[in-house]
Amino acid sequence: MIEINNLKIKKIIKKNILFIIIYVILSVLFIYQMVKSGAINNGDDAYFHVERILEIRESLKVGNPLPYLYSYTNGRMGYPLGIFFIQKSH
């Protein structure tokens, strides 16, 4: 489980908790329908997106919610993937 020690992150989560809950419920409903019908496949870039999720998880552990330099994945070489994707900041 990820520990969130950063007060700013806790405040953002509390402020948006209703939105987060609705988003998760809708996501599960839509994904369930696609899994049930067999419409989901792995795709060509599934590994890439799993790596992004793992990187964000590791960055959250150290209090960095929006990593620009991905230093935990991609062979720990410090790939600047965060500068190419728009990430919402407050």
Q: pLDDT for 63-80, tens place per residue?
A: 877 777 788 777 777 777
Q: Is the pLDDT of residue 87 over 70?
A: no
87 Cβ contact list (under 8 Å, min separation 6): 66
Q: How far apart are CA 75 and CA 73, in angstroms?
A: 5
**Residues 27, 49: one domain?**
no
Q: Which residue, among 49, 89, 90, has the nearest Cα to 70 in the 3D structure?
A: 49
The pair of three-digit structure tokens given for residue 86, joined into one six-digit string:
């728009």
Q: Is residue 73 a contact partner of residue 61, using CB atoms and an 8 Å limit?
A: no
Q: Which residue, among 55, 63, 46, has the nearest Cα to 82 in the 3D structure?
A: 55
pTM: 0.47
Q: Which residue has the higher pLDDT, 82 or 48?
A: 48
What's the pLDDT tens digit per position in 11-60?
888 888 899 899 999 999 988 888 778 776 667 777 777 888 888 888 88
Domain coverage including residue 87: 42-90
**Residues 56, 86: one domain?**
yes
**Residues 57, 88: one domain?**
yes
Structure confidence at residue 57 (pLDDT):
86
